[in-house]
Amino acid sequence: MFDSSFVSHLEGAIDGTILPARTIQTTHEGRPILVRYDLDRIGAAVTRRTFQGRPQSMWRYRELLPLDDERFIVSLGETTTPLMHCPRLGERLGADKLFIKDESRLPTGSFKARGMAMAVSMAKQFGITGLVAPTAGNAGGAMAAYAARAGMDCLVFMPRDTPMVNRYEAALHGAKVFLIDGLINDCGRIARQAAEALDLFDMSTLKEPYRVEGKKTMGLELAEQMGWSLPDVILYPTGGGTGLIGMWKAFDELARLGWLDMDRKPRMYACQSDGCPPIVNAFDAGLRFAEAPPEPHTIASGLCVPVAVADFLILDAVRQSGGKALAAEEDRIDEWMRLACRTEGIGLCPESAVCVGVLERALAEGEIGRDETIVLFNTAAAQKYVEAIEIDLPVLDHTGPIDWEALSDSC
Ligand SMILES: *Cc1c(COP(=O)(O)O)cnc(C)c1O
């Protein structure tokens, strides 16, 4: 039980302005607000061993989360996700110690559940009753599911070409869903107007402080699963950047708590499709802020984010870590997706297939070493992307004798 969180204050990420916690906050100077904790008090209250006896769920790290009263937790069972050694895929790519952390096991089949579980719980604590968000896909489904669980109203705007399953799941969970002839940023603008006009809370990526705290648990969980150390390399499919920023924040908090056995952080690789690579372009140009690329397009819908409000936080984390922002070819995404699904049996989403492409090249070029410990995040389930891959299956004529030789040749 806990009566009150260890949050000390909130902080405007762009200029460090201190803002009060325990009141509704959105952005500061149009940029993200981050949660800060009294780490000394956390260190005095719990040790790493405290977590061992707790349920396998993101809420096991509650001292490092912002909720003041656990009665407000809105949960669909945010299970700990497996970290799996992938020797067969590793061999194909030239890596001995490749691991995939499979976030597709979470409610609604994507890691968006971590952020929404946290943010919807906070919204409940603040007495908010209606939510709105733009989505490129999985965020809308996750928000709709958690809003349903909390008994809140939910409004979602998504680009017209959003994957079918994402359109259905949001609607199925009772959200009002509108398709927009435009990009995620157009949906974002409309969501902001809807929030004002209809008195809803805007849950857009990094336009409220708590989704990133939920995604932070990916980093906490990874550290605990690896025995309180961290891998050499993390490959992360980067759209709005919540996951990458959240993990980097987790590693920073763990290091300050003195909970990492080797005080060595991973090189963070922000992976994008060359159909929409704003962070990669800014990284290459040595810029702190990104510009929208021309004609953004990718079947990895979660990465189709031409403008990210937290661009500078993504770029800061990547640079501080000694990693890079790298792009892989849009027209090879299905090839990498098939490769991972076939060699390991893990349903890799197209966003994470982009990471496979980045890894393949980085290994070939010596940017990442064969003997390094590499963790690649599978952020959603392949099953959600029925449009991403064309699969033509032959029909077997079973009315006459079957030519088994011809059949086995085609296998
Ligand atoms: C949203 C999403 C991403 C990008 O997430 P960020 O953490 O906001 O960069 C990656 N993969 C999938 C499947 C997503 O749904």
pLDDT, tens digit (0-9, with 9 covering 90-100), for 44-79: 999 999 999 999 999 999 999 999 999 999 999 999
pLDDT at 105 over 70: yes
Mutation probe of ligand 1 site: the residue of 81, 138, 206 with most atoms within 8 A of C-beta: 138
Please, what is the average pLDDT of the chain? 96
Residue 237 CA to ligand 1 centre (angstroms): 6
Distance 239 CA to ligand 1 centre (A): 5
Residues 232-237, mean pLDDT to the nearest whole number: 98
What pTM, to 2 d.p., does this model score? 0.96
Asked if 155 and 198 touch (Cβ cutoff 8 Å), the reply is: yes
Atom of ligand 1 nearest to the CA of 351: 11
pLDDT category at 410 given cuts 50, 70, 90 is confident
pLDDT at position 3 = 58
What does the longest C-alpha to C-alpha distance in the chain come to? 77
Rounded to 10 deg, the angle between the 138-150 and 112-125 helix axes is 40
- The answer, yes or no, to whether residue 1 has pLDDT greater than 50, is no
How confident is the model over 135-192, as pLDDT tens digits? 989 999 999 999 999 999 999 999 999 999 999 999 999 999 999 999 999 999 999 9
Residue 320 lies in a domain: yes
Give the pLDDT of residue 409: 84
C-beta 272 within 6 A of ligand 1: no
**What's the total number of domains in the chain?**
1
Amino acid at 369: G
CA of 295 to the centre of ligand 1 (A): 20
Residue at 68 is within a domain: no
Amino acid at 302: G
Q: Which residues contact 259 (CB under 8 A, 6 or more apart)?
A: 48, 223, 228
CA of 390 to the centre of ligand 1 (A): 23
CATH of the domain at 261: 3.40.50.1100
Q: Please indicate, yes or no, if residue 101 is contained in any of the structural domains.
A: yes
Task: Kindly state whether residue 239 falls inside one of the protein's structural domains.
Answer: yes
Testing ligand 1's pocket by substitution, the residue of 106, 111, 218, 273 carrying the most ligand atoms inside 8 A of its CB is 111
- Supply the angle between the helices 333-344 and 350-364 in degrees, to the nearest 10: 90
For residue 214, tell me if it sits in a domain: yes
pLDDT at 36 (0 to 100): 98
Sorted by sequence, the CB contacts under 8 Å of residue 398 that are 6+ apart come out as: none
Q: How far is it, in rounded angstroms, from Cα 173 to Cα 140? A: 10
Task: Take atom 6 of ligand 1 and give the residue whose Cα is closest.
Answer: 241
Test site for ligand 1: of 81, 103, 106, 110, most ligand atoms within 8 A of the Cβ: 110
Residue 285 pLDDT > 80:
yes
112 lines ligand 1 (CB under 6 A): yes
Assigned domain for 195 exists: no
Query: Would you say 111 and 215 are in contact if contact means Cβ atoms under 8 Å apart?
Result: yes
Give residue 222's domain range. Answer: 83-109+210-386
Tens digit of pLDDT for each residue in 382-394? 999 999 989 899 8
DSSP one-letter code for 58:
G
> Residue 274 falls within a domain, yes or no?
yes
Bridge partners, 84 (sequence order) = 100
* Mutation choice for ligand 1 from 235, 376, 379, CB with most ligand atoms inside 8 A: 379
- Distance between CA 90 and CA 340 in Å, rounded? 10
Residue 300 domain flag: yes
